[in-house]
Structure 1
């Protein structure tokens, strides 16, 4: 059966726009259905990053290590000014996005549609029936608070709401519910705009998927900036009493002027008729296999639609894999080990590959856990940003299993380790040779020195575990004395 397109992309999310750009550059016939969206950028991510950067400036000014005793007043950027800046960037990006796709040759279709029932797979939009070899679901997710109370959505804000309102109207006392990276970034950003923030986490601790020593550093930083954190606190109800908002969090009753739900993402798939084309899904995600195919092999899905964190770089990796499978041959499977991700708090938390518990579960105790602290870096001391830790996990043969970084610019430094993992670049398995070479070239003084110090730490650990190598060195230098 003849088809009109090589790929039809459903949804103008960030991932959908990126998929269309790359597919048309590969000379594929591409259509993108907006599904009624008025913009393509993830507003929560955009707003968060702008607030985070401006909040970082305010924090640096307020904690200026070079200030004299007479300097009591510092310039301060208000939340209203930061919000206007964020919206300005959003307007520039949005106004150019869909029109740029059309100029590239993408058939951009404004409107909402649904899949035709089998056996003739197609996507109906208005009076058009789009036939394609494959389809990509890139509609993203919505914030839908999970509660039996019908008014819970009206009693709180979601991250998506923040992108559509004047942030200067936010009250001073706020409760944020959530534990994913976006929630932590927003928590710190608003605290740096002098808001009284309480963070409520349903899990036993923040960042439960990370090693404890890594998560503790981020939690300690938030608490040092005045954030109250309640963990292991399941939300059972939200009520408004005399204009004050109350939540029941575990066995505690907490009050605030506003509540922000930064959790409970659900796939944005309403009205797509996925059941009619045999696509399996539930309230949390659309199910996919390792090739990112849904239970209908001609329909793929990517991004936070399939669960996990809403991280643009992870969605980018998934889109690239989907394009290889849909436009060429469906041979490629996901492997997230070389895909870095980050929580863009200050300091950053970034990781690639396995964490310590995962590495020990897979390889046993026969691994090297290397810890290097940022307070040993010259550049960190110059910038007064000594809070940080690099945890590098290495096998005896020099294979890097993973790296967790907490520190200034960790989100940029992690790319070096990700590249090494992706290209199977190992540290030297011979510690004597490794100590006399530069395994990871860096510049002095920079934050990247942490990686060079970590590689040297690995070689020192390996020497200590192998007394025969130490004896050889001692014997060698004993001979040289003669």
Structure 2
């Protein structure tokens, strides 16, 4: 049986659902295929599970001097929270909007016509969109498959069993850093093992060191530049070997880069070029087949080293327009610098645009780095917040190129600076920004005021230079 659509979307990701809603709003006939990967379900809200777990962990006090199993309540709370998020874009809700949702894993076929074959049905369409995202890859560590491990997709399964007490988190992905701190706050014994010279290798060293210091203060033991050589099962525990050292743990969490979910869809059969890094696309998000598009993590696109939901949603809206209209829009990847990113530790870290490290190493001579410490903000003083700071990269003309913030409410504050970059505002425009006091937004105003302090200092230095010259001539 053949069914006709304007757009067939394959994927259970947030990007796929954004695309489906966008297409329905354009009065298109849409089918959404929700596949089930063999090694773990792609849940569109799974990325939020550790965040929800961290929020409830802040309210729970643990006795670090006493070994005890962490309560299962936080895990149930987080599971319920992401279930509520799921309802906001559930298949039932999409079906009520007019999206034909189909569960199962199918494949492309090109005879007698290009179609997507699923559940003995042939779905034909003007265009197809692959937005299947990525799944956790199998780590290449001897013995880890037989010993067993957890990934982000499998983390909610702990709701149904006893929460492990001793953890080893392997990998430098930001999710591992976030989870390590949360588990420590819940009373677990946590070892964070990374191969890089610093945690969060895509962040500037000063910011990464501040986050690491906070993790260690919370009880996380951090192993830098360390490679896990072997894992084995020892009775009811797991032995993690790192060179000459080994540790006993109850559970292992893998925080390594994901791989694109492309295997079961017969991409080669319809001539779609792809590698193990993802599907190849052009600047209109079209694959090597003119009717098939792709967006999101399945293309391997990353922002600043991390997968970005804001990036995939940006692509999803453009790809729907291109799939349904003859006039195509090019994706402007130079807009990467307008997309903010955050690591949800405590305190959180957020950035947008040019990093401080890039500015420091840049050959440009017109770059200025403004810095302000959070402890000077009235709201931080009232809340007894003593750590955190903001750094803003600007040109000598006041153009904002980037910013990094670590401290309370950093993800919310960075969006003000992201909007300023997008609207091409100058740093002086932020000094006229009306803000409540006390509030954390006042911190952005204070940071922008550093521009005037810098100009005064430069003016004073020039004046002193002229005075020195006059004195020398006399």
CA distance in 1, matches of 2:355, 2:395: 13
CA-CA distance at 1:4 after TM superposition: 3.3
Alignment partner, residue 265 of structure 2: 272
Q: CA RMSD in A?
A: 3.0
* 2:48 match: 46
Contact 2:106 2:118 in 1 (8 A): yes
Structure 1 unaligned segments of length 5 or more: list them: 64-75, 429-433, 475-482
Taking a change above 3 Å as real, the CA distance of residues 78 and 326 of structure 1, as seen in their structure-2 partners, is same
Query: Is the aligned partner of 1:172 residue 2:165?
Result: yes
Matches within 5 A, 1:453-468: 453-466=446-459
Q: Displacement of 1:205 after TM fit?
A: 1.1
3-state secondary structure, aligned to 2:278: coil
Alignment of 1:56-75 (within 5 A): 56-58=58-60
Structure 2 contact 141–228 (Cα < 8 Å) conserved: no
Q: How has the CA–CA distance of structure 1 residues 133 and 425 changed in structure 2, closer, same or farther, with 3 Å as cutoff?
A: farther
User: For structure 1, which segment, 387-396 or 29-38, has the greater mean C-alpha deviation from structure 2 after superposition?
Assistant: 29-38
Deviation at 1:469, TM superposition (A): 7.8
In the other structure, the counterpart of 1:238 is 231
Tell me how far 1:470 sits from its aligned partner: 6.2
Paired position in structure 2 for 1:125: 118
Paired with 2:194 and 2:318, the residues of 1 have a C-alpha distance of: 33
Contact persistence 1:293–1:301 (CA under 8 A): yes
Match of 2:330 in 1: 332
Structure 1 position 150, deviation (Å): 6.8
* Residue in 2 that maps onto 1:82: 74
Q: Is the 8 A contact 2:3 2:121 kept in 1?
A: no
Pairing 1:434-453 to 2, within 5 Å after superposition: 438-453=431-446
TM-score by length of 1: 0.85
Q: Residues of 2 paired with 1:115 and 1:160: CA distance?
A: 26
Q: Give distance in 2, aligned partners of 1:30 and 1:279.
A: 22
User: Structure 1 residues 62, 170: CA separation in 2 closer, same or farther (over 3 Å shift)?
Assistant: closer
Q: 1:235, CA displacement in angstroms?
A: 2.6
* Separation in structure 2 between the aligned mates of residue 279 and residue 235 of structure 1, nearest angstrom: 36
What's the offset of the Cα at 1:225?
0.5
C-alpha offsets along residues 76-126 of structure 1, whole Å, 9 cap, x if unaligned?
996311122222234444466101111111121222111124894332213
Q: 1:298 offset after TM fit, Å?
A: 3.5
Post-superposition shift, 1:273?
A: 1.0
In 1: Cα distance, 2:69 partner to 2:236 partner: 29
Change beyond 3 A, Cα 1:217–1:298? farther
Contact kept? 1:317, 1:339, Cα under 8 Å:
no
Q: Is the 8 A contact 2:147 2:238 kept in 1?
A: no
**TM-score of the superposition, structure 2-length normalised?**
0.86
Distance in 1, Cα, partners of 2:153 & 2:43: 11
SS in 1 for 2:59: helix
Q: In the superposition, relative to structure 1, how do residues 89 and 77 fare at CA in structure 2: closer, same or farther (>3 Å)?
A: farther
Q: How far did residue 319 of structure 1 move?
A: 1.7
Matches within 5 A, 1:318-329: 318-328=315-325, 329=327
Partner of 1:364: 364
Structure 1 residue 249 and structure 2 residue 242: aligned? yes
In the alignment, what sits opposite 1:314?
311
Give the match's secondary structure for 1:347: coil
Q: Cα distance, 1:177 vs. partner?
A: 1.0
For 1:66, the equivalent position in structure 2 comes to none
Q: Say yes or no: does 1:17 pair with 2:8.
A: no
Structure 1 residues 116 and 422: CA distance shift in structure 2, 3 A:
same
Task: Check the 8 A contact 2:352/2:418 in 1, yes or no.
Answer: yes
User: Is contact 1:17–1:40 with CA below 8 Å preserved after alignment?
Assistant: no
Q: Secondary structure at the match of 1:216?
A: helix
> CA–CA distance in 2 between the matches of 1:137 and 1:201?
33
Q: Distance in 2 between matches of 1:359 and 1:289?
A: 30
1:345 maps to: 345
Provide the rounded CA distance (Å) in 1 between the counterparts of 2:194 and 2:355: 21
Distance (Å, rounded) in 2 between the aligned partners of 1:208 and 1:151: 24
Give the whole-Å Cα distance in 1 for the aligned partners of 2:160 and 2:179. Answer: 12
CA distance in 2, matches of 1:3, 1:425: 50
Aligned residue number for residue 101 of structure 1: 94
Larger deviation, residues 257-266 vs 34-43? 34-43
Whether contact under 8 Å (2:107, 2:116) holds in the other structure is yes
Q: List aligned pairs for 1:205-220, cutoff 5 A.
A: 205-220=198-213
- Compared with structure 1, are the counterparts of its residues 279 and 249 closer, same or farther at alpha carbon in structure 2 (3 Å cutoff)? farther
Residues 297 and 153 (structure 1), Cα distance of their counterparts in 2 relative to 1, 3 Å cut: farther
- Alpha-carbon distance in 2 for matches of 1:217, 1:158: 26
Give the match's secondary structure for 2:394.
Answer: strand
**1:253 Cα deviation (Å)?**
2.5
TM-fit CA distance, 1:317: 2.3
User: Residues of 2 paired with 1:165 and 1:254: CA distance?
Assistant: 22
Q: Tell me how far 1:457 sits from its aligned partner.
A: 0.8
Q: Report which stretch shifted further, 263-272 or 306-315.
A: 306-315
Change (3 A) 1:93 1:454: closer
Structure 1 counterpart of 2:471:
none
Provide the residue aligned with 1:263 in structure 2. Answer: 256
Name 2:294's counterpart in structure 1: 301
Distance 1:362 1:317, change over 3 A: farther
